[in-house]
Amino acid sequence: MKVLIVLTSHDELGSTGKKTGFWLEELAAPYYRFKDTGYDITLASPKGGQPPLDPKSNEPQFQTDQTRRFEADPEATAALASTVRLDSVSADDYDTVFYPGGHGPLWDLAEDPSSARLIETTLRSGKPVALVCHAPGVLRHVTNEDGTPLVQGRKVTGFTNTEEAAVELVDVVPFLVEDELIKLGGDYSKGADWGSYVVEDGLLITGQNPASSSAAADALIARLKA
C-alpha cells in the first residue's frame, strides 16, 4: 500500500508574530502506524521541502514515544526535510491520503486547489481519506461531483470550538473547524475535549484532535484491509 501524507507549508500564526505549522504527534503517530504495517509512505506539502513544525508541539508536555522515535529516525527526518510539492502528485499513485493537523493547514491547505483536487479524486476513485484535528478544515472547498460541499450530510468531526478556546486562538485562526463543518452541512459530532474521537463515513475518516491521530490511522488501515 502507498500512503500520501500531506503537511502544511504555512508557518505564521495569524498576526501574532508567533510560529505555527504541523503538529508533530499528528504526523509521527500515523507515520509509524503506516510504517509498521508495511506501507510505503510519501510526504508532501504545498511548497515542498521542509514543512514548518509548530514549535509548541515539540514542547516536553506534548512529546510522545512516537514523536521521540520520529526525531531519532534518520529515514523519517530525511523524508520530512524533502517533502514533494503537492501540485506534483497524482492521486492515481497512492492508495490513500492522510492529513495531519496543526494550525497551519487552516491558512494554506484549506485554500489550496491542488489539495481539494487530490481529496476529490481520491474519494471518487474509491480510496479512503483521513484528516485529523484542524485538517478537517481543509475540506471547506472540497465538493462532490454535483458541486455540493463534500461534507454535506456526512458524519464528520474536527478540532472543537472549546478546544480552540482553551488554546486561546479563537480570534486568531481564519475560521473555526467545528463551525465551518457545520456551516457546510456536515453531520458534526465530538467527544470529550482532548480525548480520542474518530468518525467514519464511508471513505471519509476524521479525527477530533492530536489524541485521535493513532485511532484515525488505525481506522484508515482497517478500511484499506476491508
Residue 130 phi/psi, 5-degree rounding, is -125, 140
Nine-digit cell string for 177:
473547524
Nine-digit cell string for 48:
515542498
pLDDT of residue 51: 98
The predicted-structure confidence for 8-47, as pLDDT tens digits, reads as follows 999 999 999 999 999 999 999 999 999 999 999 999 999 9
Name the one residue in this structure whose C-alpha cell is 507515520. Answer: 31
Per-residue confidence at 226, pLDDT binned at 50, 70, 90?
Answer: confident
The Cα 40–Cα 169 span in angstroms is: 35
Cβ pair 77, 70 in contact under 8 A? yes
The Cα 118–Cα 114 span in angstroms is: 6
Which residue, 28, 31, 99, is CA-closest to 65?
28
The predicted-structure confidence for 204-225, as pLDDT tens digits, reads as follows 999 999 999 999 999 999 999 9
Domains and CATH numbers, the chain: 2-225 (3.40.50.880)
